[in-house]
Each structure stands twice: as C-alpha cells, then as structure tokens.
Chain A
Amino acid sequence: ETGVTQSPTHLIKTRGQQVTLRCSSQSGHNTVSWYQQALGQGPQFIFQYYREEENGRGNFPPRFSGLQFPNYSSELNVNALELDDSALYLCASKVGGQETQYFGPGTRLLVL
C-alpha cells in the first residue's frame, strides 16, 4: 500500500464524452503526476502539478487537463474522449524535491 488512492477503479465512456478521474495523495505530498498506460506499453507522462500549479507536461493535447487542490488531492479531466484514450491512468505523488514517487492503483478507462 502506497497511501495513494484513485477513483473510480473502472470506468466506461463513449467517444466524445468527458471524464474526470480523481487521486488522493499521501499526506504531505505536494507534487502529483499523472500517467497514461496503454495496454502492453509503459506509462507515459501526462503532466505534473506542484502546489496547485502545472509545472511540467508531456506530449498530450490540451483536452487533457488537471487540477490540484489545497489538500493536494487532484483531478485529471479528459474532454472529447477518443477510442485511443482507453488506458490505465495512474497518479503518483511525492514531496517536492524528493526522488521517490508513490503510485496509486490506477483507473482503467474504456472508451467505446
């Protein structure tokens, strides 16, 4: 157990819809990152939030957006869902400046 939780565990949406995924970080962790893992692939970095500000982004379009709240929980929002968005979405948290990140169990999203 890493102390990082994600909800929901599974989700089914249809193409064009919008989705919000949630992550609750370990207490005191002020940095959260989100990753997308397609089937059979390694996770791909979406973006990072530090103290409620986005401060790093991977190669993902603007329809992927996020929020980090004062209690350091966070959301990943994806608009205009596409079939290729079907994946496992992982969040990871850490204390800024430290090297080890702690991953949640992920949310598996299926887009039909």
Chain B
Amino acid sequence: SQQGEEDPQALSIQEGENATMNCSYKTSINNLQWYRQNSGRGLVHLILIRSNEREKHSGRLRVTLDTSKKSSSLLITASRAADTASYFCATVPRTGANSKLTFGKGITLSVRP
C-alpha cells in the first residue's frame, strides 16, 4: 500500500523557477527520503531527513519535515531542464525492516527550457 501522497501530481515550470513538491504520510517514521526517477528507470537518492530534523539542504535542494502534520516538502531552486523527472517521497518506518521504503505515487516535474 502507498503511504506517501505527493502533491501536486504534475508540475510544469520554466527553467530558472523554483519547484515545490509536497508529501504527506500516515504512520510514525524513522526518516523520510526523496528520490528522482528518469523515464521509468532506476531511482536516484536525493536527500534524507530524519524524524528529529526539521530542515536539510543539499545543493539546490531543500527539504523540510513536519512530523506533527506528517508532511514534508522538497524545494528545487533555480530549476534546469535536466531536473525533468518523476520525484517520489519514501518513508522508513520507526520499527520493522529498516530497508522497507514506502513510496508515494510520485510527482511528474517538467522544466521547460
């Protein structure tokens, strides 16, 4: 079953603009991760935020986590055409198999040159 729900389902922006993607989840988590997938290929890990963290940065990426609202957001600043891809949030549960990622359905991001 899907745990995360990303919002919006699709996003189209102009190169240079910022892209904000949101994710909500249902259960207690150990950490939340964001992945990128190009054209139905393998997933690329972007950033991880632990349940006791509120914000993390990595290059042009900024992720926030609000455990009280069970939500996270991913901000990509100064977007590029190469950022066009599907983006998924995935949660790791507080207990159980520590590799079990529960993914949302994903957000399709299109960056127009």
Contacts and interface: CB of A to CB of B under 8 A. Distances in A.
B48 A100 contact: yes
B92 interface: yes
A55 B100 CA distance: 10
Contacts of B41: 105-106
A45 B101 contact: yes
A90 B101 CA distance: 12
Contact of B101 (A39, A55, A101, A108): A101
A103 to B, nearest CB: 4
Interface of B: 1-2, 4, 31, 33, 35, 40-45, 48, 88, 90, 92, 96-106
Q: Secondary structure of the B side of the interface?
A: loop
Contacts of A94: 99
Interface of A: 2, 4, 31, 33, 35, 39-45, 48, 55-59, 88, 90, 92, 94, 97, 99-106, 108
Contacts of A35: 101
A42 B105 contact: yes
A102 B100 contact: no
Given A41-B105, A59-B1, A33 B100 contact: yes
Contacts of B97: 33, 45, 48, 55-57
23 contacts: A40-B105, A41-B2, A42-B88, A42-B90, A42-B103, A42-B104, A43-B103, A44-B2, A45-B102, A48-B100, A56-B96, A56-B100, A57-B97, A59-B1, A90-B43, A92-B43, A99-B48, A101-B45, A101-B99, A101-B101, A104-B42, A105-B42, A106-B42
